[in-house]
């Protein structure tokens, strides 16, 4: 696949990271294969996860094709970039097309990035996982590579203003590849993946250089003031209800 847009974008991003003096705390990046297809499964804690998550594959010289909301591809500014980088638009009302596109890329030897939680976690802990990540990898005959991000929520996430302050630490932990097959129970395999990523997330948080008590970006279970998973679920349901109400309102 020819990439005329992606490499320059990576270069611009790396320059931006240098300007912001981002301290990358990388671990396990050698687990991203240098050749062949793979699904990278990432936790989702911010709006910039697809930018920073792709950085975990840079040492292996791989470009990650992320599955992202279709609305980003219709945006005047982000649309050309998303299409130029061969990311995969996901329309939740018609997901079969994006699933098939991802399979084609995986079988062609590409790396596809997926967020099994499907939406940002307000608690910054793992939400429930969708089984599509495991199903996709099994059908394409490629491994699932778990990847944990930490610190991206401090830049830009739900319910908080953007803050691209300098000298931030971004932790990226890449786990060992997980083999899956079409003989596996996808629900059980998804539970194994989530358990593995929960352990990785715990290790990553504990190794992070900052642990300020009461910090809004730190999970409640670690002494922060972020919503608990139960509170976050309630907030998510309320947000969905508000969206549904707006859609039903008559247009002026």
**pLDDT value of residue 194:** 98
**pLDDT value of residue 168:** 96
**pLDDT value of residue 246:** 86
Residue 200 has pLDDT above 90, yes or no: yes
**pLDDT value of residue 174:** 98
CA distances (Å), origin 106, targets 78, 118, 137, 177, 211: 24, 19, 8, 15, 38
Of the listed ranges 21-30, 91-100, 123-132, 133-142, the least confidently predicted one is 91-100
State the average pLDDT over residues 57-85.
93
**pLDDT value of residue 216:** 98
CA distances (Å), origin 15, targets 18, 19, 21, 66, 168: 5, 6, 10, 21, 15
**pLDDT value of residue 83:** 94
State the average pLDDT over residues 194-219.
97
Burial class (CB in 10 A: 0-12, 13-18, 19+), 248: exposed
**pLDDT value of residue 67:** 95
Which pLDDT tens digit goes with each residue over 92-130?
766 789 999 999 999 999 999 999 999 999 999 999 999
Q: In whole angstroms, give the CA distance from residue 22 to residue 165.
A: 9
Please name each of the domains of the chain with its CATH number.
6-214 (3.40.1130.10)
Residue 85 has pLDDT above 70, yes or no: yes
Quote the tokens at residue 126. Answer: 């793992």
The rounded mean pLDDT for the chain is: 95
Residue 155 has pLDDT above 90, yes or no: yes
**pLDDT value of residue 252:** 59
Residue 243 has pLDDT above 90, yes or no: no
**pLDDT value of residue 103:** 97
Which pLDDT tens digit goes with each residue over 174-184?
999 999 999 99
| Percentage of the chain modeled with pLDDT above 70 | 98
| Percentage of the chain modeled with pLDDT above 90 | 88
């Amino acid at each position: 696949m020819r990439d005329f847009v992606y490499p320059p974008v990576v270069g611009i991003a790396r320059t931006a990271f240098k300007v912001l003096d981002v301290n990358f705390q990388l671990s396990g990046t050698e687990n991203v294969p240098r050749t062949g297809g793979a699904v990278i499964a990432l936790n989702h804690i911010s709006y910039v996860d697809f930018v920073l998550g792709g950085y975990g594959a840079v040492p292996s010289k791989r470009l990650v094709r992320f599955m992202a909301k279709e609305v980003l591809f219709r945006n005047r500014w982000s649309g050309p970039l998303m299409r130029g980088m061969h990311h995969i638009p996901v329309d939740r009302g018609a997901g079969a097309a994006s699933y098939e596109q991802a399979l084609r890329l995986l079988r062609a030897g590409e790396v596809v990035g997926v967020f099994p939680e499907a939406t940002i976690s307000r608690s910054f802990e793992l939400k429930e996982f969708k089984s599509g990540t495991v199903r996709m990898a099994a059908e394409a005959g490629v491994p699932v590579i778990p990847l944990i991000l930490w610190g991206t929520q401090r830049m830009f996430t739900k319910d908080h203003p953007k803050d691209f302050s300098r000298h931030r630490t971004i932790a990226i932990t890449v786990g060992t590849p997980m083999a899956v097959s079409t003989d596996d129970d996808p629900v059980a395999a998804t539970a194994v993946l989530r358990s593995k990523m929960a352990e990785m997330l715990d290790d990553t948080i504990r190794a992070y250089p900052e642990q300020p008590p009461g910090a809004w970006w730190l999970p409640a279970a670690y002494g922060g003031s972020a919503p608990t998973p139960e509170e976050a679920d309630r907030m998510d349901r309320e947000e969905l209800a508000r969206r549904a109400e707006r859609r039903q309102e008559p247009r002026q």
